[in-house]
Structure 1
């Protein structure tokens, strides 16, 4: 888990020193290249602001990073297990291959044994690793306004139907559902905490999520229905604007966001989201505190549900809300990201923080 790792400054120092003590214990994702490396990687060291650290290889791959071809982060764990080593080599040799359990059996492997071994070493199964590799290639092509057939080929699927099925599982919609003349357009960009997807119309931001959020498929289906299918790929002004403002935010220059938001929720849910936007960066609050501020002290659980339903991450700062006991509680983008955001916002903390 990310929370098991020390401060990022320590990990960045280990990266610069190529400290072998951290080999296999932490990994770095380089947001400027999309590459996942060991801390002992011999490649030129990235800038501090372009680094995000992970406790497992699987977490880095799920966040959208590709294994480095110089330091081969998959190999150290693979060397201890002949079956894992053989399958990693097969995946590196043909990253576009669509693997099934039958393929593992044909190679003389027991699928359940392989599943346990990969979960133990990488935090994800081999089939999940292979699927993430294919999907990442396909998403990259679509985000660059590529044709569906190009995305299909880049992702290594044997047919359009196979690609649409995999894409539907990942985003909740088949590629064919996205229109070139759409009112809402989706694009994605890298951040120090992993890639994010943004959906906007000409004037308002409708969605901003980390691409590995489990609720993303449901949220996109809801948007697709709300806009009567007028959803496509591409860039509109609010997406450019929020990417620029997030860059300012992550680099410690500003925690102010002024992109107009289109809120999709009940009146109460939208009222909670409006309240969250009044919380100063660097301050921490409880669900009961938010309920009291809304003059609805009996609605703590409803506030928690609205908080969890937020689909505009960071801008609507649900990460500033904790459990009554000070615990991180749930966060759709992952608890490690919530802790990272809280740590980052200490530099923005007001002189007198409002008590939780």
Structure 2
């Protein structure tokens, strides 16, 4: 939302002048003379009051033609977990079988309130729920390797087998005994120069990569769980780690192709279209009509467009490289300005 309240505009401008950290992520300032947008703590020379306007989200700044500042990197630094939250997450990863309490956080000078607020805003869940998912995912992997259910329950920090079984079934969808051989979808979050993204993966590969503000994201999650007959829980596997590294290298300009395995549940036609998308060379564009020709179905232009719209794996399956036959940028789930940025990035 564009900020129009005079008092709020003056407040935000003063925060910009003073580089107040408490305003990071609260507003994004667009500089009309440079078409750049920044966060409150940017070290660049401060613009004049008459040359700025303030937005509440990255997406709105992008939609209004502003590009991320290369100095303060607003899309990354405004959405990256603060130091205290990063330390809390590290504690969970280092102690996957233990419950990290508020007291343990305070012992390390971590505010439980800050951690809770960040998880509610960025994951839509509490820190305790995040921990439960991480512990249950660890238990899921141990059970698949043949470990006894009772030993797994108590090793994971549960005081009773019934409590473990109830939580496990709620998150995984089946009891510990019934879930061996089942699929589980892991989800993780990371930041990019165009904003934070969610990445999901199964044991087979990446099954979702989307910007967290993507329209209809909840519907995508539901469809993915239905198609794979699996629940989504917090976690990370080798595919997610690899995807994060490759996407980071892509944004740095050092990678033009991706090697991470993909898992793309869908119809035969959809997979034909998605596979064709992966053949569009880096730095080039094509049209829906040309796509239809490439898959030897020249009359299926609209069906191709629909299949593109159903692609759940942004950037790696590069639907952003498809434009209108007249050269105009067409719809993109991440937003037209993100599409323009990606195309310009690949043409540098």
- 1:50 maps to 73
- 2:245 maps to 244
Structure 2 CA distance for aligned equivalents of residues 327 and 240 of structure 1: 35
Query: Which consecutive residues of structure 1, in runs of 5 or more, have no partner in the other structure?
Result: 30-38, 40-45, 54-59, 67-95, 97-131, 149-174, 348-356
- Residue 261 of structure 1: how far off its partner (Å): 0.7
Which residue, 36, 39, 44 being the options, matches 1:16?
44
- Residue 137 of structure 1: how far off its partner (Å): 5.3
- Residue 135 of structure 1: how far off its partner (Å): 4.2
- Residue 341 of structure 1: how far off its partner (Å): 0.6
- Partner of 1:241, secondary structure, is helix
For residues 183-206 of structure 1, give each alpha carbon's deviation from its aligned partner in whole angstroms, at most 9, with x where no partner exists: 221111111111111111224111
For residues 141-195 of structure 1, give each alpha carbon's deviation from its aligned partner in whole angstroms, at most 9, with x where no partner exists: 55993348xxxxxxxxxxxxxxxxxxxxxxxxxx995339862211111111111
When the two structures are superposed, what TM-score results if normalisation uses the length of structure 1? 0.56
Structure 1 CA distance for aligned equivalents of residues 275 and 203 of structure 2: 22
Which residue, 145, 157, 161 being the options, matches 2:130?
145
CA contact (8 A) 1:184 1:200 kept: yes
- Residue 292 of structure 1: how far off its partner (Å): 1.1
The within-5 A match list for 1:123-272 is 135-136=120-121, 139=124, 141=126, 145-147=130-132, 178-179=171-172, 183-272=184-273
The within-5 A match list for 1:47-126 is 48=71, 50-52=73-75
CA contact (8 A) 1:177 1:231 kept: no
CA contact (8 A) 2:282 2:346 kept: yes
- Return the index of the structure with the highest Cα Rg: 2
Structure 1 CA distance for aligned equivalents of residues 220 and 328 of structure 2: 26
CA contact (8 A) 2:202 2:263 kept: no
Q: Are the structure 2 counterparts of residues 27 and 345 from structure 1 closer, same or farther at C-alpha, using a change threshold of 3 Å?
A: farther
- Partner of 1:16, secondary structure, is coil
- Residue 294 of structure 1: how far off its partner (Å): 1.3
Total equivalences in the alignment: 234
- Residue 335 of structure 1: how far off its partner (Å): 0.9
Structure 2 CA distance for aligned equivalents of residues 307 and 332 of structure 1: 10
Q: Are the structure 2 counterparts of residues 11 and 223 from structure 1 closer, same or farther at C-alpha, using a change threshold of 3 Å?
A: closer
CA contact (8 A) 1:288 1:300 kept: yes
**Residue range with higher mean Cα deviation, 235-244 or 19-28:** 19-28
When the two structures are superposed, what TM-score results if normalisation uses the length of structure 2? 0.57
- Residue 230 of structure 1: how far off its partner (Å): 3.7
CA contact (8 A) 1:143 1:233 kept: no
- 2:337 maps to 336
- Regions of 4+ moved over 4 Å: 4-12, 25-29, 132-135, 140-144
Query: Which consecutive residues of structure 2, in runs of 5 or more, have no partner in the other structure?
Result: 3-27, 59-65, 82-112, 134-167, 174-178
- 1:319 maps to 320
C-alpha RMSD of the superposition: 4.0
- Residue 342 of structure 1: how far off its partner (Å): 0.8
CA contact (8 A) 2:211 2:334 kept: yes
Structure 1 CA distance for aligned equivalents of residues 320 and 304 of structure 2: 13
- Partner of 1:240, secondary structure, is helix
